[in-house]
Amino acid sequence: MYSPLAFVLASLPFLTAAVSPASHGIAVPITKRDNHPTGVADPSKLHGRIKHSVAKIQSGFAAYERNTGVAHPLSRSTKHVGRDSGSDPLTDDSAMRWYGTISVGTPAVSFTVDFDTGSSDLFLPSSKCGSSCSGHKVYNPNASSTAQALSKTFSLTFDDGSIVTGEQYTDVVSIVNLTANSQTLAGATNYSSSLTRKNFMPDGLMGMGFQAISRCNAPPLFQTLISAGVVTSQVFGFKFATSGSELFLGGTNSALYTGDFTWIPLTVEGYWQASFNRISVNGNPVVGSTTAIFDTGSTQIIGDPTGIAKLFDSISGAQSAPHLGDGVYTIPCSFDTPISIDVGGKTVGISPASFNLGSVPHNNSSTCLAGAAADKSLTGEFWILGDVFLQNVYSAWDVGGSRIGFATLA
């Protein structure tokens, strides 16, 4: 059971591990689908993902307070701007979402889900959902002999005011050959516009954060697997790349990284929340020590307007592009400026390929969308480090040790 006192971990020094986590577990290969073979990006989708990511974090703050009885330490660091208080291949939808397959119920039915460390609930469209779930495979609890209704509702509000609502159940849930016999999940009776088929390719979402931010106030699937003794290590690992990517459940895959892990203690259990030391451009610090939420469900690096402006002021040819969306910046498509983030004393270089999200439409491919953006609701007390950061490291997410680790990709 998590205690709000977990934030005292912030006082611990950063650690570099001499050995990696236990290597036993299940490999889940992931691949990156290229939805833009011409290299042209979709600014509207990208801008929507920025807003979605920040709104998701803010919604989790409210869940944290309901579940723990105390306010999340970062909850006052955002301005609420119009928002409510075996192997399993994964795909990155428009370089925005990593998803793969789980099975639910008896008999088992397969669903695709977004694997999201920035949330903690498993939800699927249910058979009671109408046209808003059209195109998605639906979960029918009446067709599963192991489904149990909990007589509880589920609600998640997004930045555009749209809502995912549903009912809670327990059922058998498996990923590869790892099975939880009584996992809490939500069957959505309404999907928001953010989750319609054209905007959201997976059927549902599988949160991989901590119970403290669960809207259902229930253990996430990986924690259920831990409690059941199904996995031998309380760690999962991610590698994100254009090829050879992988989610590893129950340890890490030592073939995908070199050297030791640099471990950073979580400051609060809820999100995967820790601190980075600095962000540098051309070796010169431009942003100082700041809390980060490491989020596989976010595409970009997202920060406050002042900090993001400092970052781009140091990049030759970078420009603010409000006509493409609030907080959006562009860079020359020939961009090769060295950007690095220091996490726990480990310098992680952000490759030009990961920071360049594709060319701006109708601009002769000379201007590209940048991999960092600002959100005006952020005050500077925390940033969100998404796929643009995470694809440059092998990451280990240690549930039992309340820490996150980074190693150099092999």
pLDDT in tens, 188-227: 998 877 677 777 778 999 999 999 999 999 999 999 999 9
Is pLDDT above 80 for 256? yes
Q: Say which of 88, 93, 114, 116 is annotated catalytic.
A: 116
DSSP symbols for 24-58: -SEEEEEE---S-TT-B--HHHHHHHHHHHHHHHH
Nearest-angstrom CA–CA distance, 141 and 131: 19
Q: Percentage of the chain with pLDDT > 70?
A: 85
Active site residue 116: yes
For range 36-41, the mean pLDDT: 58
C-alpha to C-alpha distance for 399 and 233, rounded to whole angstroms: 9
Comparison of pLDDT for 120 and 297, the residue scoring more: 120
**Each residue's pLDDT tens digit, 155-181:** 877 555 567 889 999 999 999 889 999
Domains and CATH numbers, the chain: 256-409 (2.40.70.10)
Q: Which pLDDT score is estimated for 394?
A: 96
pLDDT tens digits for range 76-97: 878 654 333 233 444 544 445 6
When pLDDT is cut at 50, 70 and 90, the band that residue 236 belongs to is very high
Per-residue pLDDT reduced to its tens digit, 92-109 = 444 456 788 899 999 999
Q: pLDDT > 90: what percent of the chain?
A: 65
Closest to 370 in 3D by CA, of 326, 410, 330: 330
Choose the catalytic residue: 295, 304, 375, 387: 295
